[in-house]
């Protein structure tokens, strides 16, 4: 399932890199026009603007929750 409100901490667990690197990568994706912030810093979410990236993400078969649970064990 999609989690529009995922935190950088949870995302770092899924990806396996630090929260600082997650923030750096988000910044790069914003500069390239791939991500756009919708709403406020606390109540908003990131929207993928690039269609090619959207399709790639939609085709991923791995459940984010399974990855988080595996990392926390």
DSSP 35-65: EEEES-TTT-EEEE--HHHHHHHHH--S-HH
pTM above 0.85, yes or no: no
Q: What is the pLDDT of residue 1?
A: 43
C-alpha closest to that of 18 among 4, 27, 7, 8: 8
Tens digit of pLDDT at every position of the chain (73 positions) = 467 778 888 889 888 899 999 999 889 988 988 888 888 888 888 888 888 877 777 766 555 556 666 766 6
According to the model, what pLDDT value does residue 67 have?
64
Angstrom distances, CA of residue 31 to CA of 3, 21, 35, 70: 22, 15, 8, 32
pLDDT for residue 66: 66
pLDDT of residue 8: 86
Closest CA to 20 of 8, 6, 29: 8
């Amino acid at each position: 399932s999609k989690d529009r409100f995922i935190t950088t901490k949870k995302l770092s667990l899924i990806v396996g890199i630090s929260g600082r690197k997650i923030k750096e990568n988000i910044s790069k994706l914003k500069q390239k026009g791939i991500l756009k912030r919708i709403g406020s810093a606390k109540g908003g979410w990131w929207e993928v603007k690039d269609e090619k990236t959207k399709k790639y993400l939609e085709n991923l078969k791995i459940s984010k929750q399974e990855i988080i649970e595996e990392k926390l064990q």
